[in-house]
Amino acid sequence: MGKRSAHISLAEYIAAEVKEAESPLNTWGAGEEFNRPPDRNERWLHYIHSGRAAEMEDIHSDLNLWATGLRLGIDPMTLLPEEREKELQETFRLWQEHQQNTEAKETPADSG
């Protein structure tokens, strides 16, 4: 998709990244990756290695911001940052789900 939209402040973007990197799900994933309770650096390494950091850039891209506006029927920049974050993530999740379903339909089933 692309880089972070200039419409989303760097402070808001960083806050969303910190929340994701410090989340229970990421902490669990880092623990699995490092086979022990992870420290903060290991949580960030896992966050980057898992591809979630790159996804967050796509979640905050101009394209996803535009798609979220279409989905909601309003300018997402009028939402409070926490609500906007939730809606941006939901639009991205729906897009990923759509892509997976489309790929599954295009891939012939294994007949063997």
Residue 2 has pLDDT above 70, yes or no: no
Give the contacts of 6 (CB within 8 A, at least 6 positions apart): 62
Return mean pLDDT, the chain: 93
pLDDT at 56: 94
SS3 of 51-88: the string is CHHHHHHHHCEHHHHHHHHHHHCCCHHHCCHHHHHHHH
pLDDT in tens, 54-73: 999 999 999 999 999 999 99
* pTM of the predicted model over 0.85: no
pLDDT at 106: 81
Residue 19 has pLDDT above 60, yes or no: yes
Beta bridge partners of 110: none
pLDDT in tens, 26-59: 999 999 999 999 999 999 999 999 999 999 999 9
In percent, how much of the chain has pLDDT > 90? 87
Tokens encoding 99: 């892509």
Tokens encoding 83: 């609500």
